[in-house]
Amino acid sequence: MKTLREYIKEAEEKKVAIGHFNISNLESLHAIYNAARKLNVPVIIGLSEGEENFVGLEEAVALVRAIRERDDYPIFLNADHHHSFKSVKECIDAGFDSVIFDGAKLSFEENVKITKECVDYAHTFKEATGRDVLVEAELGYIGEGSNIKDTIPEGAGILTSRDEAKRFVEQTGVDMFAPSVGSIHGLIKSGKPHIDTNLVAEIKRATGVPLVLHGGSGLRDVDFTDAISSGINVVHINTEIRVAYVEGLKESILKNKDEVVPYKVLELAKEDVEKVVEERLKLFSGIK
């Protein structure tokens, strides 16, 4: 099987994007995997620090690895939005395929410093073990929290400049880069701004590395397709599938008030997540 690095390179060449979906439980993992396998596309499973604490770091690695080895399928695990070198190192050591150091709230200099520390450790780890772990970092604040917001948070949406992006990538040596190009974490009731696809293209040319779009939930389809054609190679979705899960669970409980078997109660929530993931993967992969 090809590595995650190779699959992302392939996505670049085909001008498609790999979908990245976060999980908090087993049924969401199965829903995401079922959708990806149905379409025969690679997929990335993400765990933020909060999700990781709930699921378990070693448990998440074991689950994803078991599926990948059993089915010989390109499913990968990413440490999403980790905020310290210590937490990034723990994920690399545990067996994650990629990690994100999120220093978006830090000064440029501090963000560079800790990101480079993560990159250097990943290189040392590869020399010692042969395992290639990709390191991603973020520049430009796009808000935080996979939830439903009334309005765009104050201070969010500060776009990343092409020159700063170039300088950041050169100074850190990151494998992947997440710029702020118009998306905001979470769902915004008033609607999200359009993606600045010209900026995406400029940053792609300036940095020469795979680009990642965070805060994808709630964007218009055309924003995704235009961003991907302009240079986005991985797209993160979380809030949309959280909403689908909760709504499906509520409906199931109301329909089956006397049911006490958890897997029966959870089935509708799993199905609803799978539907959302399948539609997003079709869009990202150019599948009609």
CA distance 188 to 190: 5
pLDDT of residue 38: 98
The answer to whether 44 and 79 have CB atoms below 8 angstroms apart is no
Say how many domains are in the chain: 1
Check 71, 80, 221, 223 and give the catalytic one.
80
Per-residue pLDDT of 165-198, as tens digits, reads: 999 999 999 999 999 997 665 445 555 567 889 9
Residues facing 20 on adjacent strands? 44, 236
pLDDT of residue 288: 85
Nearest 10 degrees: Cα torsion 83, 144, 240, 231:
-80
Of residues 145, 148, 143, the one with CA closest to residue 246: 148
Q: Is 272 marked within a binding site?
A: no
Per-residue pLDDT of 228-256, as tens digits, reads: 999 999 999 998 999 999 999 999 999 99
pLDDT of residue 155: 57
Q: Is 138 marked within a binding site?
A: yes
Domain that holds residue 98: 4-285
pLDDT of residue 250: 97
CATH (domain of 198):
3.20.20.70
Low-confidence ranges of the chain (pLDDT < 70): 142-157, 183-193
Q: Is 150 a catalytic residue?
A: no
Q: Is 102 marked within a binding site?
A: yes
pLDDT of residue 154: 62
Q: Is 226 marked within a binding site?
A: no
Please tell me whether residue 249 adopts helix, strand or coil conformation: helix
* pTM (predicted TM-score): 0.93
Q: Is 30 marked within a binding site?
A: no
CA distance 34 to 193: 31
Output the CA angle 18-236-142, nearest 5 degrees. Answer: 140
